[in-house]
Amino acid sequence: MTIKQLTEQDKADISAFLDAEEGMSDLMAQSDAGKTLERYSLIGDAMRADGKDFIHLDIASKVASQLEHEPIFADFNKSESSTEVVKEDKVSENVVAFNWKKPFSQIAIAASVAMFAIVGVQTVPTNETQLMPESLPILQTIPFGGMATPVSYSSEQSALQSAASGLRKLQQQRIGALVLEHQRQTRIASSEKKQQNEVLNNFENEDAK
Amino acid sequence: MRKLASVCSLFLFIGSIAPVYSNTVEAQESEIIAELNKETRLETAKSLLIKMSEAVHKNNFNASFAVVKGNNMEPYKWLHGINGNDELEHLSLLNGAGFEVFRVNDRVTYFETQSAPYTVLAKHISGPIPDVLFQDITLLEQAYDFTLGGKGRIAGRAAQLVKIEAKDESKFNYWLWLDLESTLLLKAAYVNKKGEALEQLQLTHVSMTKHIAPELVEMSKKQFPPVTLNEKKISTGDIKDAQGNWLIGWLPEGFKLLKSDRHNLNLNNELTDYYLYGDGLIEVSIFVQRPLPGKRRGGGLSSGATSIFVHNADGFDVSVVGNIPGMTAKTIAQSVQRK
């Protein structure tokens, strides 16, 4: 059936079909043009990603069945079957678990923090007179953990070695300790500020009375 | 003739409609103007900052952010929620050995690897975000100006830039990008006078939730160490005692003495005369210590916005630590003299 051969009835059928008023008539479905139409509309649907109902390429179920036959390397079922409460208990154990880190030698960690502070410092001037009046000596950016946490230092190894001649180890330790002390004191100060404010507020309240 | 009549009636018809039409236009215009007024009223930098400080206390939210210092990046998780009358907060560093802070109302507990956990009385977590942003922002007006910057898109949300600009060049500026909708903090940066960001904090994700995160409630039931570090209440007497030893010749405008004493460093037990100054936004520590043995070198270091300057004076070492430009740290350190 070529286009020229379309009768008025065919045209009416096509119109009704495209308006979704009617299903495909047998005649249309059987004809070559009908099959072409079917293919094109399928392609169109696929590209528009609608009509999930009648494209039955069931990838999901195939993948699922494939997965079922995969060997299991880790059993996640256990944790999943446990309740929320149990999970949270585990989280809370982590909080408590900080305590086991305490036995770490404080000095050792201070040293590791300080090593960070030293990375990249290669040109500390030997005395103050060498300092340029308008520029600060040295000062490359040094990735020491701002929260004083030793980050992975393996990658810094070469830089560390080249910087080893920079500052004396003792001074490194001292700088690390000072940075941590600054953080600690800042935190404590924020609470003291609060106390002061409360004292002031109390005074104000009393005055108001 | 009939045609003319119909044209006339058409005019009449239009005439009767026109006033109605212009009324609606006026109504719309006044609405728009009201909207604009509302916008401009919202848009003073200070009121935005105040709104932000309120927003972080009132909402249940779950956020992630990263602090970028040079080529170093620290990811954090930040949870906040209201559980009945309790305000709960948890900040957690996700890289390395970690760093955890829990807050239940005014008790803030810090867990760090290098020292035993400790609790202080404070309304805010003292972490990568300056804590003044969560309280009375007007404290900053003495030393800083608040100005508005442009709008942009941060973390997938419409954001307004608010600049906290230092009144002189001895300090960094602090820029904040706030969510236009919730006024939550989306991004912040320490910016030098050239406009270069030295240390940036960027939220990667934030979700406001109707209910508090269950892990926060769970956490609040735990036993935290008691408040131990505040047994010594600050008194003016203490400050004078330690002030007797050294004269700090110069500090940037707006810095006030917060604390001064002689104590041993928490980590290596070295004795130090200690001064803590603050201008509301940032704090500067000044340490005066016995010099280290051998020939030593002074100098500075920096990481992000934090500068450290060690000055070797005659017979004592001065170290200055804080979120200030290196030159400022150097000038402060060199201004310290024996009384």
**Chain B residues closer than 8 Å to A194 by CB:** 106, 121-123
Query: Which residue from A145, A168, A196 is facing B296, i.e. has the nearest CB?
Result: A168
CA separation for the pair A113, A184 (Å, rounded) = 15
CA separation for the pair B181, A99 (Å, rounded) = 41
CA separation for the pair B170, B179 (Å, rounded) = 29
pLDDT 10s digits, A42-53: 777 767 765 455
Distance of CA B311 to the CA centre of its chain: 29
Residue B66 vs residue A97, higher pLDDT? B66
User: What mean pLDDT do residues A143-151 have?
Assistant: 39
| pLDDT category of residue A160 using cuts at 50, 70 and 90 | very low
Would the CB atoms of A179 and B321 count as touching at under 8 Å? Answer: yes
Query: Which residue from B219, B233, B287 is facing A178, i.e. has the nearest CB?
Result: B287
**Chain A residues closer than 8 Å to B266 by CB:** 177, 180-181, 184
Per DSSP, the residues of A104-132 read S-HHHHHHHHHHHHHTT-----SSGGGS-
**Chain A residues closer than 8 Å to B74 by CB:** 145-147, 149, 151
CA separation for the pair B228, B121 (Å, rounded) = 9
Q: What percentage of chain B carries pLDDT values higher than 90?
A: 36
CA separation for the pair A44, A49 (Å, rounded) = 8
Nearest residue on chain B to A135, alpha-carbon basis: B327
| pLDDT category of residue A98 using cuts at 50, 70 and 90 | very low
Contacts of A50 (CB under 8 A, 6+ apart): none
φ/ψ (deg, to 5) at B289: -130, 165
**Chain B residues closer than 8 Å to A145 by CB:** 72, 74, 96
Per DSSP, the residues of chain A read --GGG--HHHHHHHHHHHTTSS---HHHHHSHHHHHHHHHHHHHHHHHT--TTT----HHHHHHHHHHTSPPSS--HHHHHS-HHHHHHHHHHHHHGGGGGTTS-HHHHHHHHHHHHHTT-----SSGGGS-SSS-S---B----TTS-----GGGHHHHHHHTTSS-HHHHHHHHHHHHHHHHHHHHHHHHHHHHHHHHHHHHHHHH-
Predicted model pTM: 0.62
Q: What is the pLDDT of residue A42?
A: 73
CA separation for the pair A55, A49 (Å, rounded) = 10
Nearest residue on chain A to B90, alpha-carbon basis: A95
Residue A143, pLDDT > 60, answer no
Q: Which residues pair with B151 in a beta bridge?
A: B160
| pLDDT category of residue A201 using cuts at 50, 70 and 90 | low
Tokens for A169, please give them.
Answer: 């180890």
| Crossing angle of helices A169-208 and A106-118, rounded to 10° | 100
Instruction: Tally A–B CB contacts below 8 A.
Output: 228
**Chain B residues closer than 8 Å to A136 by CB:** 300, 326-327, 330
Q: How far is B39 from chain A (nearest CA, A)?
A: 34
Q: How far is B228 from chain A (nearest CA, A)?
A: 10
Cα dihedral sign, B193-B194-B198-B202: positive
Q: How many CB atoms lie within 10 A of CB A18?
A: 11
Query: Which residue from B229, B258, B303 is facing A142, i.e. has the nearest CB?
Result: B303
Q: Which of A101, A122, A165, A182 to mutate to test the interface with B (most CBs of B within 10 A)?
A: A182
Ordered structural domains, chain B, with CATH: 49-230 (2.50.20.10), 236-338 (3.30.200.100)
Contacts of B280 (CB under 8 A, 6+ apart): B132, B139, B140, B142, B143, B144, B254
CA separation for the pair A139, A161 (Å, rounded) = 18
pLDDT 10s digits, B310-328: 898 888 899 999 999 999 9
Query: Which residue from A106, A109, A137 is facing B300, i.e. has the nearest CB?
Result: A137
CA separation for the pair B212, B209 (Å, rounded) = 7
Task: List C-alpha distances in Å: A121 to B298, B301, B310.
Answer: 12, 8, 13
| pLDDT category of residue B266 using cuts at 50, 70 and 90 | confident
Would the CB atoms of A147 and B127 count as touching at under 8 Å? Answer: yes
Q: What is the ipTM of this complex?
A: 0.80
**Chain A residues closer than 8 Å to B128 by CB:** 146-147
Q: Which of A153, A171, A197 to mutate to test the interface with B (most CBs of B within 10 A)?
A: A171
Please answer whether residues B208 and B61 qualify as being in contact, where contact means their C-beta atoms are separated by less than 8 angstroms. Answer: yes
By the 10 Å C-beta count (0-12 exposed, 13-18 middle, 19+ buried), A65 is classed as exposed
Would the CB atoms of B124 and A117 count as touching at under 8 Å? Answer: no
Would the CB atoms of B74 and A146 count as touching at under 8 Å? Answer: yes
Query: Which residue from A92, A107, A186 is facing B283, i.e. has the nearest CB?
Result: A186
User: What mean pLDDT do residues A29-56 have?
Assistant: 66
Contacts of A23 (CB under 8 A, 6+ apart): A17
Query: Which residue from B222, B266, B292 is facing A170, i.e. has the nearest CB?
Result: B292
Q: How far is A77 from chain B (nearest CA, A)?
A: 22
User: What mean pLDDT do residues B70-77 have?
Assistant: 89
Q: Which of B114, B228, B330 to mutate to test the interface with A (most CBs of A within 10 A)?
A: B114
Q: What percentage of chain B carries pLDDT values higher than 70?
A: 81
pLDDT 10s digits, B153-177: 998 889 999 999 999 889 999 999 9
Q: What is the pLDDT of residue B96?
A: 84
Contacts of B80 (CB under 8 A, 6+ apart): B56, B59, B60, B61, B87, B88, B89, B90, B216
Nearest residue on chain A to B122, alpha-carbon basis: A191
User: What mean pLDDT do residues B36-61 have?
Assistant: 78
CA separation for the pair A55, A46 (Å, rounded) = 8
Tokens for B26, please give them.
Answer: 């006026």
Task: List C-alpha distances in Å: B107 to B72, B123, B129, B207, B240.
Answer: 30, 7, 18, 25, 29
Would the CB atoms of A179 and B296 count as touching at under 8 Å? Answer: no
**Chain B residues closer than 8 Å to A204 by CB:** none
Residue B232, pLDDT > 60, answer no
Q: What percentage of chain A carries pLDDT values higher than 70?
A: 24
Would the CB atoms of A146 and B326 count as touching at under 8 Å? Answer: no
